[in-house]
Chains A and B, each alone.
Chain A
């Protein structure tokens, strides 16, 4: 390392010299700034993820119930048995449905916030959307368990307006329905959408804000009806926001094990399967292999999203 040269006329107190030193040695300063973070994320986080992936190549000895540390693909063969593939498909479909419904609900509000709301109203709405995002996830799930309960407020309200019959008919629909709304995929979908909706609204607002109003005027001046302007101008420009939001809605649904525990049928989701395999079943290799699935899905998703410019809208 180079000896610190005295700058002519510069005072030479030690802190000042240190300051000048770091000013000239940007790389060294950078290294010192980065070091703690890199060590933490490199060792604690990436190290753990690596360990998890390694574990997924180990296997569980069936008779002893102990993990055998031989490298192999046995656990992955188990992962791709029919019942486990069903779990992966079920979870992915639910994540996709949640993402689509979140997008549909988020769009009108985001559009209203950006295009029509007064500045004061916009601030209120913005903070209004942010607050649930930060407030307890579990508390909000608990609220829905109480709302959807058979004797709860939803059925009470439906009964008052005479729609309880319609709800029962809806619950009779295969796949969507179930013995009660709490035990149906519909109920699970509602809760997931409720929980992750703010994650979709915020990036969408950010993306819509960057659509210049002049584009919309230009489109309309050129004779496009509003629907066409929406389809050809607003929607493509809002797409990075939708994708950024979908990263959260998709990923959060893929890895959740609390909601499938309390809502829906007893069918397993990736999250509940991981939880059971590592806990009660003691099959950490299979649990690890199961978590590799969302990791792969999300890595592909994130890389695609980055290519599509979605990180600009986060």
Chain B
């Protein structure tokens, strides 16, 4: 279906605008309360405005440590997801084999099942295996649910590109490595980049699985979660929330633009 030159009815336009407003209005509230002078409540309108909370947050070493931990976890998880996701995608995209559908199903499972299931399952097996909870256990858990992001992006891209370019490259005398470097990689580069960005963002602000697979470690979302129980310095939480939004927003926007095929939308690349 496409825009047929007809105009939508007023009701439909209002409903659509309303839903979009519903999606974005709450984020503005985060910004407003980062500047309020009230340290312990959410009075609206704010009794006064100040930028002092930004300084308070900046001087807090706990926040810096949490930021560093979140970035490292996300980096490791993304790296693992990139390798596993693209290998699986390469296997599934072109060849038909027994259990192929099961692969798509299993990689989807960690995000299709409630996060608490994934979290507690991993925690119990980590504890059973006698491994101490650490940054690495968080990263392993995150990698598990990030694989599907890379996988989906790469599968979609491989299905869209011609299978014959690889053969053509080989026929023209390229080695496997050359074919990979000059043909396959450029073809899937943006899909990999987009997958990596999205996996990174997903890991960066995940909290449920993290709660179960972290020991004493505090990622940024865990820091925010715990700060919600503290009655004082509420606006500092909002400052950190703005930081999280800032770190994820631009890359995600880039990833969305990268994966958008100009002529089609996400549903069209399903010719099998």
0/1 string, A264-294, CB within 8 A of B gives 1: 0000001100110010000010011001001
Check B130 for interface membership: any CB of A closer than 8 A.
Answer: no
Residues B41 and A138 in contact, CB atoms below 8 Å apart: no
A136-B205 CB under 8 A given contacts A19-B179, A142-B224:
yes
Residues A271 and B20 in contact, CB atoms below 8 Å apart: no
Check B230 for interface membership: any CB of A closer than 8 A.
Answer: no
Residues B122 and A44 in contact, CB atoms below 8 Å apart: yes
Q: Which residues of A contact B221 (CB under 8 A)?
A: 136, 138
Residues B121 and A278 in contact, CB atoms below 8 Å apart: no
0/1 string, B42-60, CB within 8 A of A gives 1: 1111000000000000000
A291-B97 CB under 8 A given contacts A109-B15, A147-B29:
no
Give Cα A265–Cα B257 distance, bound, in whole angstroms: 42
0/1 string, B200-218, CB within 8 A of A gives 1: 0110011110011000000
Among the listed B3, B85, B198, B249, which residue makes an inter-chain contact with A117, where contact means beta carbons less than 8 Å apart? B3
Residues B112 and A114 in contact, CB atoms below 8 Å apart: no
Residues A151 and B42 in contact, CB atoms below 8 Å apart: yes
Within 8 A of B (CB), among A116-164: 116-119, 122-123, 125-132, 134-140, 142-147, 149, 151-153, 156
Q: Which residues of B contact A275 (CB under 8 A)?
A: 116, 211
Among the listed B8, B30, B116, B228, which residue makes an inter-chain contact with A255, where contact means beta carbons less than 8 Å apart? B116
Q: Which residues of A contact B257 (CB under 8 A)?
A: 127
Among the listed B15, B117, B211, B224, which residue makes an inter-chain contact with A294, where contact means beta carbons less than 8 Å apart? B117
Residues A105 and B176 in contact, CB atoms below 8 Å apart: no
Residues A138 and B224 in contact, CB atoms below 8 Å apart: yes
A131-B116 CB under 8 A given contacts A126-B265, A198-B23:
no
A128-B114 CB under 8 A given contacts A33-B88, A109-B16:
no
Check B162 for interface membership: any CB of A closer than 8 A.
Answer: no
A37-B84 CB under 8 A given contacts A115-B8, A131-B253, A271-B114:
yes
Q: Give A154's nearest chain B residue, CB to CB.
A: B44
Residues A109 and B20 in contact, CB atoms below 8 Å apart: yes
Q: Which residues of B contact A149 (CB under 8 A)?
A: 41-42
* Least Cβ–Cβ distance between B192 and chain A, in angstroms: 16
0/1 string, B102-131, CB within 8 A of A gives 1: 010111011011111110111111001000
0/1 string, A4-26, CB within 8 A of B gives 1: 00000001010110111011001
Within 8 A of A (CB), among B77-106: 80, 83-85, 87-88, 90-91, 95, 97, 103, 105-106
Give Cα A261–Cα B39 distance, bound, in whole angstroms: 22
* Least Cβ–Cβ distance between A156 and chain B, in angstroms: 5
A41-B107 CB under 8 A given contacts A52-B120, A134-B248, A288-B124:
yes
Q: Give B31's nearest chain A residue, CB to CB.
A: A143
Among the listed A127, A212, A258, which residue makes an inter-chain contact with B225, where contact means beta carbons less than 8 Å apart? A258
Residues B116 and A37 in contact, CB atoms below 8 Å apart: no
Among the listed B33, B120, B179, which residue makes an inter-chain contact with A287, where contact means beta carbons less than 8 Å apart? B120
Q: Give B237's nearest chain A residue, CB to CB.
A: A142
Check A60 for interface membership: any CB of B closer than 8 A.
Answer: no
0/1 string, A77-106, CB within 8 A of B gives 1: 000000000000000000000000000011
Residues B205 and A49 in contact, CB atoms below 8 Å apart: no
Check B140 for interface membership: any CB of A closer than 8 A.
Answer: yes
Residues B113 and A211 in contact, CB atoms below 8 Å apart: no
Q: Give B251's nearest chain A residue, CB to CB.
A: A134
A128-B23 CB under 8 A given contacts A51-B121, A142-B237, A209-B267:
yes
Instruction: List the interface of chain A (C-beta within 8 A of B).
Output: 11, 13, 15-16, 18-20, 22-23, 26, 30, 33-34, 36-37, 40-41, 44-49, 51-52, 55, 105-106, 108-109, 111-119, 122-123, 125-132, 134-140, 142-147, 149, 151-153, 156, 194, 197-198, 201-202, 205-213, 216, 247-248, 251-252, 254-258, 262, 270-271, 274-275, 278, 284, 287-288, 291, 294-295, 298, 302, 312-313
Top 9 A-B pairs, shortest CB-CB distance:
A255-B114, A19-B176, A143-B26, A108-B15, A136-B205, A33-B91, A206-B267, A48-B121, A48-B125
Q: List 21 A-B contacts (CB under 8 A).
A: A34-B87, A36-B84, A36-B87, A41-B147, A51-B128, A52-B124, A105-B19, A105-B22, A106-B19, A108-B15, A112-B13, A122-B265, A131-B253, A135-B27, A135-B249, A135-B252, A139-B27, A139-B245, A152-B42, A205-B267, A274-B116
